C-alpha cells in the first residue's frame, strides 16, 4: 500500500513540475486551456495524478479552474502586475543590499557567471534562455541575502512573478538595457557595496515596470495614469 502511495505522489510531482515549468517559462501562455487528455499523452501519466497536480497549481495561483471543470493558465490583470511590482520594490532591493554584504566568494563567482551567460543570450536574442537566466539571477540574490523570512515571502510570489518577468522580457527594446542593469547590480555586489546594489536593483525594477506600462497599458485603465506618476516619483 505504501509503495502505491509513494508511486502516486511521485507521478503527481512529475506532472506538477512539468506543468509548472511550462507555465512559468511561457510555453503555455496565460489564458490557454490545459486539457487533461493532452497532458496525459505528453507525460504518460493517468488522469488522477494530473488532477492532483492541477489542484496544486491552482493553489499556487498559476491556473484557474472554472465551476464546470475547465482549467486555464491564469491571466494576470494590470492591477496584479501593479501589486507584484510593489512587492518586488519592497523586497528585492533589500535582498540585494544584504546579498552584497553576505555573499561568499563562491557565490559572487556564480553570480558573475550568471550575468555572463545572460549577456551571451542577449546577444543571440535567445528569449527562452534569457527568461531562465533572469529568473535565476533574481532568485539567487534573494537566496544570498540569507534572510529566511525574505526568502519565504519571495518564494510565495516567485511563480506569479514569472508572468510579470516574461511580459517585460517580451519587449525587444528592454533586453539590452536590462542586461546592463543586471551587470551594474552584479558589480555593486562584487565590491560589497550594499547601498549601491540596493539602489541599482530598485532602479532596475522601476524601469521594468515603466516599460511594462508603456507597452501593455491601453491608457483606459482607471489607475494607469496615477500608476505612471507613482513609478516616476518612487
Sketch the domain layout of the chain as residue ranges: 2-73, 78-233
Per CATH, the homologous superfamily of domain 78-233 is: GntR ligand-binding domain-like (1.20.120.530)
pLDDT (tens digit, 9 = 90+) per residue, 65-79?
988 778 999 988 888
- Tell me the C-alpha distance between 186 and 94, whole Å: 14
**Cβ count within 10 A of residue 171:** 16
Contact of 73 with 28, CB cutoff 8 Å? yes
Range from 19-33, 71-85, 161-175, 197-211 carrying the lowest mean pLDDT:
161-175
Per the structure block, which three cell numbers stand in for 232?
516616476
pLDDT (tens digit, 9 = 90+) per residue, 2-12?
343 345 668 88
Domain 2-73 sits in CATH at 1.10.10.10
Instruction: For residue 92, give the nearest of 181, 20, 7, 8 by alpha carbon.
Output: 181
Confidence class for position 217, pLDDT limits 50, 70, 90: low
> What rounded mean pLDDT belongs to the chain?
86
Amino acid at each position: 500500500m505504501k509503495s502505491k502511495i509513494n508511486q502516486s505522489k511521485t507521478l503527481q510531482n512529475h506532472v506538477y513540475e512539468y506543468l509548472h515549468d511550462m507555465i512559468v517559462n511561457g510555453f503555455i501562455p496565460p489564458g490557454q486551456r490545459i486539457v487533461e487528455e493532452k497532458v496525459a499523452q505528453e507525460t504518460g501519466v493517468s488522469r488522477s495524478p494530473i488532477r492532483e497536480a492541477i489542484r496544486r497549481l491552482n493553489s499556487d495561483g498559476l491556473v484557474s479552474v472554472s465551476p464546470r471543470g475547465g482549467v486555464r493558465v491564469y491571466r494576470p490583470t494590470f492591477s496584479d502586475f501593479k501589486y507584484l511590482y510593489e512587492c518586488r520594490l519592497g523586497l528585492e532591493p533589500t535582498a540585494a543590499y544584504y546579498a552584497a554584504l553576505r555573499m561568499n566568494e563562491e557565490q559572487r563567482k556564480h553570480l558573475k557567471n550568471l550575468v555572463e551567460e545572460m549577456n551571451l543570450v542577449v546577444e543571440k536574442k535567445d528569449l527562452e534562455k534569457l527568461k531562465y537566466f533572469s529568473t535565476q539571477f533574481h532568485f539567487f540574490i534573494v537566496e544570498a541575502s540569507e534572510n529566511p523570512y525574505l526568502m519565504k515571502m519571495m518564494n510565495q510570489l516567485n511563480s506569479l512573478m514569472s508572468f510579470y518577468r516574461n511580459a517585460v522580457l517580451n519587449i525587444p527594446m528592454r533586453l539590452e538595457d536590462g542586461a546592463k542593469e543586471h551587470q551594474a547590480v552584479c558589480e555593486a555586489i562584487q565590491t560589497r557595496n550594499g547601498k549601491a546594489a540596493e539602489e541599482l536593483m530598485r532602479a532596475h525594477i522601476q524601469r521594468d515596470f515603466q516599460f511594462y506600462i508603456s507597452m501593455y497599458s491601453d491608457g483606459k485603465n482607471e489607475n494607469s495614469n496615477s500608476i505612471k506618476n507613482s513609478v516616476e516619483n518612487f
